[in-house]
Structure 1
Amino acid sequence: MGFFRKKSAEVDAAKSRRNLGLAMVTLDRARPLPEGALLAFLQDPPWELPRAKELRQEGDTLSFELDGAAVTLSLMRAPIPWGDLEGPARGAWHWPEATGKLKAHQAHVIVAVLAPGMDRISTMLLLTRVVAAVAATTDASGVYWGEGPVVNAPDDFIEEAKRTSRERLPLYLWLAFQLSRNPDGTFTLATSGMRSFGFMELELVAMREKPATLVDRAFNFAHYLLDHGPVLKDGDTIGLSAQERFRIRHVPSAADPTRTVYRIEL
């Protein structure tokens, strides 16, 4: 019986990890969390979430129940180690000031959402909204989405979060779209962060399209998978219009051959 209790505990722990969302907001300075403004932000349009319940303030930690999920906000009076931020900041083509802004931060807030009754996407949507509320009501200098990992400017994160819905997922906030230029002038794009949803990552290798077009294509393919599940089999074709067809291959990653990815080929 001990073995079965142990396995059951492992399964429960795995389920909890799937329903746990974590992100961090970097701060220019450490100040107490503005409880009233933060909770009011969540109840304003466009979300109009239910009123938070069971509020508890213990030192620098604020916790409450929101829409059936347990939310914890922990103010850390020290910066995030630069080793965690350096790579995402260097790769933030969408935010050229990332390195300078993030290097200067003095504190951060850890945002955790535990939602046993929600699926993974619903958990991440709720986490996005709470992170936006923290970014909007504090001295925020950046948002670090560790499961990407990807960083964003606070204003960009807030505006994107406001446009978010189940039909319009904020993948620019959740995923890193990593671009590299090849010696022959083509570009390769690889996502990072799909694994947190239980999917293989995407790679578009040696493409002659503009970087912005590649990012747009990767966004649409990733959104399709999150909408429909792992339906793209090795050898399938998919097109975003009647004029184009892309072949999907399940192959070792060009960057890390130990991992299998969705390779998208013309």
Structure 2
Amino acid sequence: MGFLRKKSVDVEAPKPRRNVGLAMVTLDRARPLPEGALLAFLQDNWKDLPRPTEVNHEGDTLSFELGGAIVTLTLMRVPIPWGDLEGPARAAWHWPEAKERLMVHLGHVIVAVLAPGMDRVSTMLLLTRVVAAVAATADASGVYWGEGPVVNAPEDFVEEARRTSRERLPLYLWLAFQLVRNPDGTFTLCTSGMKSFELMELEWVACRTKPAELVDRAFNFAHYLLDHGPVLKDGDSIGLSAQERFRVRHLPSVVEPSRTVYRIDV
């Protein structure tokens, strides 16, 4: 996906940030973390990862260093408040059983990755793999990615995480693609979660594009921005091919007018 037609090549440098990734795994049973199985899962599924060092397991907290990052897993013997999960569960068109499975969870694991030496995408990739290891080896009932916010079934999260790479980012795990059918039969799509990467959200308003095609297009545009940074200026054109052009505008969000988004004209 290239063919970016720009009015300007000036790109603002991102502001420094404390590079922390955070996600949660809901549990059917709040049992101690399976340290051996969890660390083995990481090694068996991602051969490019170094071996964890400085492993420390005290009480309900497991921590270790992994590729220059500090990973901390904390078992919480209480559920995540339903008020945090209700909206993402209701919006989880990809997981019809979300509400049924999440409402009855009894505990959760907070997964935190502190990676001051990594860029944001690499940090989130590492977090995704650690979360998958928890989801695959603990009594998981779901994964809550609060930056979206978005929820996924543990088995779906693990399957998608296994296929991820820098070239194939797991955006369906990181971002919410909120699709609404308008009274006139058109569709509006808004992303949520791009702000975690210091990028504006994407919006398509009142489009007659088929929903599946619209979601796929949003995925590709979001992937482009995560690959290249905030390079889309107001008035630029972008397309998936040399023949396809879509105009990009910086406009107030139709969901939250106080913030500016990338509005894509189709």
Equivalent position amino acid for 2:252 in 1: P
The answer for the alignment partner of 1:11 in structure 2 is none
The answer for the alignment partner of 1:3 in structure 2 is none
| Structure 1 portions without partners, runs of 5+ | 1-13
Moved more, 213-222 or 37-46: 37-46
The answer for the alignment partner of 2:38 in structure 1 is 38
The answer for the alignment partner of 1:201 in structure 2 is 201
The alpha-carbon distance between structure 1 residues 62 and 214, as it changes in their structure 2 partners (threshold 3 A), is: same
| Cα deviation code 1:186-231 (max 9, x no counterpart) | 0000000000100000001111111111110000000001111111
How far, CA to CA, are the matches of 1:193 and 1:47 in structure 2? 29
| Cα deviation code 1:129-157 (max 9, x no counterpart) | 00000000011000000000000000110
Question: Secondary structure of 2:45's partner?
Answer: coil
Equivalent position amino acid for 1:25 in 2: V
Cα distance, 1:243 vs structure 2: 3.5
TM-score, structure 2 as length reference: 0.93
Conserved? CA contact 1:187–1:205, under 8 Å? yes
Kindly report structure 1 stretches of 4+ aligned residues shifted beyond 4 Å.
none
| Cα deviation code 1:23-42 (max 9, x no counterpart) | 00000011100000000011
How far, CA to CA, are the matches of 2:227 and 2:133 in structure 1? 26
The answer for the alignment partner of 1:74 in structure 2 is 74
How far, CA to CA, are the matches of 2:38 and 2:190 in structure 1? 35
How far, CA to CA, are the matches of 1:259 and 1:86 in structure 2? 24
The answer for the alignment partner of 1:64 in structure 2 is 64
Cα distance, 1:244 vs structure 2: 2.2
Cα distance, 1:102 vs structure 2: 0.4
The answer for the alignment partner of 1:211 in structure 2 is 211
The answer for the alignment partner of 2:117 in structure 1 is 117
The answer for the alignment partner of 1:223 in structure 2 is 223
The answer for the alignment partner of 1:103 in structure 2 is 103
How far, CA to CA, are the matches of 1:211 and 1:107 in structure 2? 35
Between 1 and 2, higher relative CO (CA 8 Å, sep ≥ 6) is seen in 2
Equivalent position amino acid for 1:190 in 2: C
The answer for the alignment partner of 1:246 in structure 2 is 246
TM-score, structure 1 as length reference: 0.93
Equivalent position amino acid for 2:135 in 1: A
Cα distance, 1:48 vs structure 2: 4.2
The alpha-carbon distance between structure 1 residues 121 and 39, as it changes in their structure 2 partners (threshold 3 A), is: same
The answer for the alignment partner of 1:138 in structure 2 is 138
| Structure 2 portions without partners, runs of 5+ | 1-15
